[in-house]
Amino acid sequence: MDPDAKALDYHDVLLRQGDVQLLAGAHWLNDQVIAFYFEYLLREAFAGAGVLLVSGDSTYLLANLGPDAGPAVVLEPRGFAAARLVLFAVNNNPDVECAGGGSHWSLLAYSAGGNSFHSYDSMAGSNRQAARAVYKAAAAAAPPGARFVEERAPQQANGYDCGVHVLALAKLLCERAAAAAAAGSQAVDMQVSSTGITPASVTALRQEVLELVRGKIAAAAAGAAGSS
């Protein structure tokens, strides 16, 4: 199988066969896989919940543009001001000229109800500097006084599941945002230390996302065959 062959076009995300294969084994997830799941959560699973999900490449751009230009380029066009919950995929890439890099993912979440940014790292402290850079840029779009909170998060059991932890945390927080929306509230519970995110559930989510991708590939193929 050619790893560069196109596998799936999903809204703004193009997955290639090599991207899909990252989900099939003990592999570190790349920007494209995380962007796919963020798009799925935003457009299908939690559409209408007042959530905004910012993929790794856009988060990288925000941090590198900084507070002066970053919010206008990355956040304002996406409706940051109206969101109940904003999730950022944070990578520790130190290269200011190339978005595709780094070795570790974490999640930064903005709660509009608390006017606070919450950092979740499955290898505690590893992405502190990167998360703070995103916070400093994004806080320029938030009301004055937005806080940065380093939360206790479930820890990964290996060296490659950081990206799946990001997906699991994003799903959990989106579920809470949807519940808040249903209740007509802006308040979202941002503490995750005692949730059911475990090594076993992370492994299960990796398989779940793989099956989701495969299902969309099959549906796209069936649609193409039906229109020919």
Name the residues annotated as catalytic.
Answer: 104, 121, 162
Q: What angle do CA 17, 20, 26 make, to 5 degrees?
A: 125
CA distances from 90 to 128, 179, 197 (A): 10, 25, 19
36-61 per-residue burial string, b: 16 or more CB within 10 A, e: under 16? bbbbbbbeeebeebbbbbbbbbbbbb
- With a CB cutoff of 8 Å and minimum separation 6, the contacts of 89 are 31, 34, 35, 38, 53, 54, 55, 56, 59, 105, 107, 166
Cβ atoms of residues 148 and 180 within 8 Å: no
